[in-house]
């Protein structure tokens, strides 16, 4: 074993650091070597390579199904936003202006009014909605767009996790009442939870943001929050009730059933390609990425093994397996490159994280079997050819469950509960993870904690059943519980 890993390092192939020893470097290597992303020429930009873009397309597939079934439709809106739109909602402007890219020229001509490249599309989309909404019969208006957005990131960019340009979906809906908007916000949050936990196998904390962490311009923000193995949190998705904060400046009004003119209630919600970064961080191991089966674009790879003269027989069987799996609806590739040895292919597909590998060689052909290897535990199992589709299908479900269970255990283990500020600081500084504490609800305490420890309130649970006695910072009576953490 030692000899093998030495050889690995010598050759500078594969992942050369351990996930547990240098997490940042490990992540950077996995992203590069699994061919997920490649750095662009401008800071914070990168190419989403086919291996990661295909995951994004799976996410789109799953999420589109959820929102289509509940009456939403996809649309697309312009990317260039006049400066005057952004300035209509004050909080929104203050939240976003430090990080927008400005367009100042069209061709050789200086523009009379500067344009921003969308950092989010509320203002653009609402300028359309004000024209499209006239009566209560136009409501609810339920649209979503899949697009790229730009937010200038000057420091600490990381592929998928934080960049100046990324891909996301942004849903923008208009409702007649606050109650309907509340319902929408919570329904979408549940979709996000389902997508993340049931498909990406990324376990979450779910709840509300504090006033200072909410979306700029929102009434309130709900969030799904994940924990990375290095103890830092990732905000994986947010769903906002914008109240009438945007409908008023953007003049989105409708005539209700009583012929009264009313301002509408709007929501917005988004998830981004950082989900891909989160699932790589959470599930990957020292050999590379592990893509959870239910979101994996390719679920199985067949590696044929043969000596010269045996290839016909082996390849014939390999193709049989391929079509059997394809018939069963399992997306599969046959790696029949003849310029690579089986060992090379094993390492390659493990690095890329394909959930199941099927090995078939002369021995197996003779016995009417094939070897099935699961990526998460690397466990091998010989299975009969007849039962191969069923065996692989079962194994994929098992891997999915195992990945989630492991990640859930890690999330639970990352949570420290304390009302003692000394222990709070120590935990944030040494171990990281979420710290669950009582909070008086005061922004002063929240700001002090951020300044002194770098931790922010990530999630306020919806139901604080056992509200803690005192605020972790000021010691006064706690109004609610909050999960604190440092975040990406």
**Interaction of residue 13 with RNA, rule CB under 7 A:** yes
In the three-class reduction of DSSP (H, G, I as helix; E, B as strand; rest coil), residue 278 is classed as helix
Give residues with Cβ within 8 angstroms of 445, minimum separation 6. 439, 471, 472, 473, 474
Residues 69-98 that bind RNA (CB under 7 A): none
Q: Which of 82, 342, 441, 442 binds RNA (CB under 7 A)?
A: 342
Residues 125-144 that bind RNA (CB under 7 A): none
| Choices 64-72, 125-133, 294-302, 338-346; region in contact with RNA by CB under 7 A | 338-346
Q: Which of 324, 360, 445, 460 binds RNA (CB under 7 A)?
A: 360
Q: In this structure, is the dihedral angle defined by the CA atoms of residues 299, 235, 192 and 77, taken in order, positive or negative? A: negative
**Interaction of residue 154 with RNA, rule CB under 7 A:** yes
18-to-186, 375, 407, 433 alpha-carbon distances in Å: 39, 17, 18, 20
Provide the minimum distance between the beta carbon of 219 and RNA in the complex, in angstroms, as a whole number: 28
**Interaction of residue 402 with RNA, rule CB under 7 A:** no
Give the integer Cα–Cα distance in Å for 422 and 425: 5
Provide the minimum distance between the beta carbon of 359 and RNA in the complex, in angstroms, as a whole number: 4
**Interaction of residue 454 with RNA, rule CB under 7 A:** yes
| Choices 171-179, 243-251, 260-268, 342-350; region in contact with RNA by CB under 7 A | 342-350
Are 357 and 349 spatial neighbours (Cβ–Cβ below 8 Å)? yes
Q: Which of 53, 101, 146, 344 binds RNA (CB under 7 A)?
A: 344
Give the integer Cα–Cα distance in Å for 168 and 395: 31
CB closer to RNA, 149 vs 373 = 373
Are 124 and 130 spatial neighbours (Cβ–Cβ below 8 Å)? no
| Choices 149-157, 265-273, 274-282, 409-417; region in contact with RNA by CB under 7 A | 149-157
Give the integer Cα–Cα distance in Å for 382 and 364: 8
User: Can you read off the two tokens belonging to residue 354?
Assistant: 């394909």
Distant-in-sequence contacts of 380-386, Cβ < 8 A, 24+ apart: 385/317, 385/320, 385/321
The C-alpha angle with vertex 259 and arms to 254 and 261, in degrees rounded to 5, equals 40
**Interaction of residue 352 with RNA, rule CB under 7 A:** no
Distant-in-sequence contacts of 45-52, Cβ < 8 A, 24+ apart: 45/163, 45/164, 45/165, 46/159, 46/163, 48/167, 48/273, 51/352, 52/160, 52/273, 52/276
**Interaction of residue 157 with RNA, rule CB under 7 A:** yes
| Choices 3-11, 113-121, 385-393, 441-449; region in contact with RNA by CB under 7 A | 3-11
CB closer to RNA, 25 vs 180 = 25
Q: Which of 82, 95, 362, 442 binds RNA (CB under 7 A)?
A: 362
**Interaction of residue 452 with RNA, rule CB under 7 A:** yes
**Interaction of residue 28 with RNA, rule CB under 7 A:** yes
What are residue 105's DSSP bridge partners?
110
Give the integer Cα–Cα distance in Å for 327 and 188: 34
**Interaction of residue 101 with RNA, rule CB under 7 A:** no
**Interaction of residue 469 with RNA, rule CB under 7 A:** no
Name the nearest CA neighbour of 188 among 151, 237, 124: 237
Provide the minimum distance between the beta carbon of 20 and RNA in the complex, in angstroms, as a whole number: 12
Task: Kindly write out the interface string for residues 425-444 of this chain, putting x where it contacts RNA by CB under 7 A and - elsewhere.
Answer: ----x---------------
**Interaction of residue 465 with RNA, rule CB under 7 A:** no
CB closer to RNA, 120 vs 453 = 453
Q: Which of 6, 18, 24, 90 binds RNA (CB under 7 A)?
A: 24
| Choices 54-62, 210-218, 265-273, 360-368; region in contact with RNA by CB under 7 A | 360-368
Name the nearest CA neighbour of 358 among 328, 319, 329, 397: 319
Provide the minimum distance between the beta carbon of 43 and RNA in the complex, in angstroms, as a whole number: 2
Q: Which of 122, 165, 335, 359 binds RNA (CB under 7 A)?
A: 359
**Interaction of residue 193 with RNA, rule CB under 7 A:** no
Give the integer Cα–Cα distance in Å for 76 and 95: 24
Q: Which of 43, 106, 212, 384 binds RNA (CB under 7 A)?
A: 43
Name the nearest CA neighbour of 266 among 103, 432, 129, 463: 129
Task: Kindly write out the interface string for residues 292-331 of this chain, putting x where it contacts RNA by CB under 7 A and - elsewhere.
Answer: -------------xxxx--x--------------------
Burial 400-415 (b: 16+ CB within 10 A, else e): beebbeebeeebeebe
Provide the minimum distance between the beta carbon of 355 and RNA in the complex, in angstroms, as a whole number: 13
Give the integer Cα–Cα distance in Å for 298 and 352: 10
Q: Give the interface size with RNA as a residue count (CB under 7 A).
A: 58
CB closer to RNA, 4 vs 137 = 4
Burial 95-116 (b: 16+ CB within 10 A, else e): bbeeebeeeeeeeeeeeeebbb
Footprint of RNA on this chain (CB under 7 A)? 4, 7-8, 11-14, 22, 24-25, 27-28, 33, 39, 41-44, 154-159, 287, 305-308, 311, 338-339, 341-344, 346-348, 350-351, 359-365, 371, 373, 378, 380, 429, 451-454, 486
């Amino acid at each position: 074993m030692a000899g093998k890993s030495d050889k690995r390092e010598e050759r500078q192939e594969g992942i050369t650091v351990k996930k547990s020893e240098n997490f940042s470097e490990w992540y950077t290597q996995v992203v590069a070597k699994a061919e997920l992303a490649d750095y662009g020429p401008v800071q914070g930009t990168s190419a989403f390579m086919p291996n990661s873009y295909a995951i994004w397309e799976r996410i789109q597939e799953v999420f589109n199904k959820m929102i289509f079934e509940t009456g939403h439709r996809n649309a697309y809106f312009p990317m260039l936003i006049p400066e005057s739109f952004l300035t209509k909602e004050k909080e929104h402007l203050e939240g976003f202006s430090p990080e927008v890219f400005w367009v100042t020229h069209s061709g050789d001509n200086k523009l009379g009014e500067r344009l921003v490249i969308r950092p989010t599309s509320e203002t653009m989309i609402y300028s359309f909605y004000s024209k499209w909404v006239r009566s209560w019969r136009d409501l609810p208006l339920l649209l979503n767009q899949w697009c790229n957005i730009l937010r200038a990131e000057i420091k600490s960019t990381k592929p998928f996790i934080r960049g100046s340009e990324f891909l996301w979906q942004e849903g923008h809906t208009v409702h007649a009442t606050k109650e309907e908007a509340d319902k929408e916000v919570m329904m979408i949050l549940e979709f996000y939870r389902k997508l993340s936990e049931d498909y990406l196998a990324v376990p979450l904390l779910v709840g509300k943001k504090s006033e200072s962490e909410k979306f700029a311009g929102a009434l309130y923000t709900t969030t799904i929050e994940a924990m990375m193995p290095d103890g830092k949190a990732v905000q994986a998705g947010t769903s906002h009730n914008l109240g009438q904060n945007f409908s008023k400046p953007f003049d989105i009004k409708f005539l209700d059933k009583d012929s009264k003119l009313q301002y509408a209630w709007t929501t917005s919600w988004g998830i981004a390609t950082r989900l891909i970064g989160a699932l790589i961080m959470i599930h990957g191991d020292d050999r590379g990425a592990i893509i959870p089966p239910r979101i994996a674009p390719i679920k199985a790879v067949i590696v044929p093994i043969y000596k010269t003269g045996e290839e016909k027989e082996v390849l014939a069987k390999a193709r049989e397996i391929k079509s059997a799996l394809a018939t069963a609806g399992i997306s599969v590739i046959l790696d029949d490159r003849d310029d690579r040895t089986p060992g090379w292919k094993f390492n390659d597909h493990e690095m890329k994280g394909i959930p199941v590998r099927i090995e078939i060689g002369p021995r197996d052909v003779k016995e009417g079997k094939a070897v099935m290897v699961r990526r998460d535990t690397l466990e091998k199992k010989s299975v009969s050819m007849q039962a191969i589709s069923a065996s692989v299908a079962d194994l994929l479900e098992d891997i999915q469950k195992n990945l989630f269970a492991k990640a859930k255990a890690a999330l639970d283990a990352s949570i420290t509960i304390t009302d003692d500020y000394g222990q709070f600081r120590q935990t944030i500084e040494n171990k990281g993870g979420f710290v669950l504490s009582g909070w008086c609800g005061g922004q002063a305490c929240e700001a002090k904690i951020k300044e002194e420890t770098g931790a922010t309130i990530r999630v306020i649970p919806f139901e604080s059943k056992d509200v803690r006695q005192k605020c972790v910072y000021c010691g006064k009576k706690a109004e609610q519980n909050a999960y604190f953490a440092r975040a990406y």
